[in-house]
Amino acid sequence: MSEPVRPEDMRISDAERNEVQDRLRRAHDVGQLDLGEFDERVRSVWAARTRGELARITADLPVPPPERGHRTVFSDTGGGVTMRVLTIVWGSLAAVNFVVWGLIAVSTGHFLYPWWIWVAVPPGVALAVLYVAGIGRPPRSG
């Protein structure tokens, strides 16, 4: 009967190598490694065969701070895509109407009634209500 393989002697995958390479990249980005040492360690990562070898490559590095995730405004669902498109259309129409209003006011030399508000506010309120109701909003994390 053969003995079980120790965890540090387990073979590694390319996915595990990629994770360690990303950790080294973050260490380089924050100044813990210079470019030469980063390059040397990345070569060692791709030459490594076991988990123990990988662990030795990063053993002297402090635990990296968590990466700041990019917070999305809209989800990647159909509702999120729809809300993103509608928001772009709404913003474009509001901006064009505001610019037209401003050009007319400047060219005539007197303040006009701000009619562009009627183009911008009601659809904007409708989009805000849909968003508050959860349409197209990403799930909350944490």
d(CA 19, CA 49): 14
Cα 117 → chain centroid = 33
pLDDT recorded at residue 141: 61
What is the mean predicted confidence (pLDDT) over 54-79? 82
pLDDT recorded at residue 88: 95
Residue 75 confidence class, pLDDT cut points 50, 70, 90: confident
Q: How far is CA 129 from CA 42, 107, 124, 134, in A?
A: 50, 37, 9, 9
Task: Report whether pLDDT(12) > 60.
Answer: yes
Task: Report whether pLDDT(5) > 90.
Answer: no
Residue 69 confidence class, pLDDT cut points 50, 70, 90: low
d(CA 119, CA 101): 11
Helix H or strand E segment including 135: none
Percent of the chain residues past pLDDT 90, beyond the cut: 64
Put simply, whether the predicted model's pTM sits higher than 0.85 gets the answer no
Greater confidence (5 vs 125) lies with: 125
Reported as a single tens digit per residue, the pLDDT across 50-60 is 999 999 999 99
d(CA 65, CA 62): 9
Residue 77 in tokens: 């669902």
